[in-house]
Amino acid sequence: MVVKKAPNPIDKHVGSRVRMRRMMLSMSQEKLGDALGLTFQQVQKYEKGTNRIGASRLQQISHILQVPVSFFFEGAPSLGARPDGSVDAPSPAYVSDFLATSDGLALTKSFMRIKDAKLRRRIVDLVEQIAGDGEL
């Protein structure tokens, strides 16, 4: 019997950031795969965190997706205490998860095109009322 190992949380996070950025650029998995010399299935495994992305490959991806390598680690889950004893605050992973969906990305892109700040605020208020809460 083969036991499947769960993807490492950092690998999943990096993969979801690759997916989010690729979608922001309206790039297909196939197009990214072609640029990397990979199949779209291999890109899919990277994006799910099933396959770990090596350092040189991540550098290549950052170049193709036009972001610094650090972009892929923004909001990454904490690995716990540092040698000095300090601990990272928990990251709002739900934001990254939301932005990695097609609905989240479409909503964010459209929302950012609204120039009137007061109108944007009223939309946020409306969504909060619909959701039934005033705060997160």
- Token pair recorded at residue 124: 């946020």
- In whole angstroms, give the CA distance from residue 45 to residue 12: 10
Model confidence over 94-130: pLDDT tens digits?
A: 676 777 778 888 888 888 888 998 998 898 889 888 8
Model confidence over 12-51: pLDDT tens digits?
A: 999 999 999 998 898 999 999 999 999 999 999 999 999 9
| Sign of the dihedral through C-alpha 31, 49, 99, 63 | negative
Give residue 74's pLDDT: 85
Radius of gyration of the chain, Cα coordinates, nearest whole angstrom: 18
Give residue 86's pLDDT: 53
pLDDT higher at 99 or 87: 99
Helix axes 40-48, 9-24, angle to 10 degrees: 120
The domain spans of the chain are 1-77+93-100, 101-136
- Token pair recorded at residue 64: 């193709």
To the question of domain 1-77+93-100 being in CATH 2.60.120.680, the answer is no
Give residue 80's pLDDT: 55
Which amino acid makes up residue 57? R
Model confidence over 50-85: pLDDT tens digits?
A: 999 999 999 999 999 999 999 898 888 776 545 555
Give residue 84's pLDDT: 57
